[in-house]
Amino acid sequence: GAVVSQHPSRVICKSGTSVKIECRSLDFQATTMFWYRQFPKQSLMLMATSNEGSKATYEQGVEKDKFLINHASLTLSTLTVTSAHPEDSSFYICSATPYNEQFFGPGTRLTVL
């Protein structure tokens, strides 16, 4: 199957700093990638749809100025959590659909102190 990677796998930062998470499709081109967030014991919640070469589409309730998404190439999408706060601590997962299946990255555990 297709491989999606994420970097870093785990990050701890101080409140107020910005954190960038990378999502890469390793063996296919992805015009669309998705960003999810998962809090402990809760469901994956779609945050935004990342479109190569255009602006991301954010789900209702997700602050686009806080969660900046850049899909600069067909293999890379980045999510930047700006001015992170403890309530942003979560498991962030990206995914892509090269064909008839959605493949998930391994996730990034963000802890904001």
Partner 1 sequence: QKEVEQNSGPLSVPEGAIASLNCTYSDRGSQSFFWYRQYSGKSPELIMFIYSNGDKEDGRFTAQLNKASQYVSLLIRDSQPSDSATYLCAVNRDTGFQKLVFGTGTRLLVSP
Residues of span 48-67 touching partner 1 by CB under 8 A: 49
- Cβ closest to partner 1, residue 62 vs residue 82: 62
Q: List the one residue from 41, 53, 60, 61 that touches partner 1 (CB under 8 A).
A: 41
Question: Which amino acid, residue 30?
Answer: A
Position 42 contacts partner 1 (CB under 8 A): yes
- Do strands 32-38 and 57-58 pair parallel, antiparallel, or not at all (unpaired)? unpaired
Position 8 contacts partner 1 (CB under 8 A): no
**x/- map, 77-106, partner 1, by CB under 8 A:** --------------x-x---x--xxx-xxx
CB of 70 to partner 1, least distance (A): 20
CB of 83 to partner 1, least distance (A): 26
- Cβ closest to partner 1, residue 68 vs residue 104: 104
Nearest in space to 30 (alpha carbons), one of 10, 5, 8: 5
93 neighbors 36 (Cβ within 8 angstroms): yes
Residue 24 tokens read as: 């890469």
- Cβ closest to partner 1, residue 32 vs residue 82: 32
Residue 68 tokens read as: 């900046």
Question: Which amino acid, residue 11?
Answer: V
64 neighbors 55 (Cβ within 8 angstroms): no
33 neighbors 12 (Cβ within 8 angstroms): no
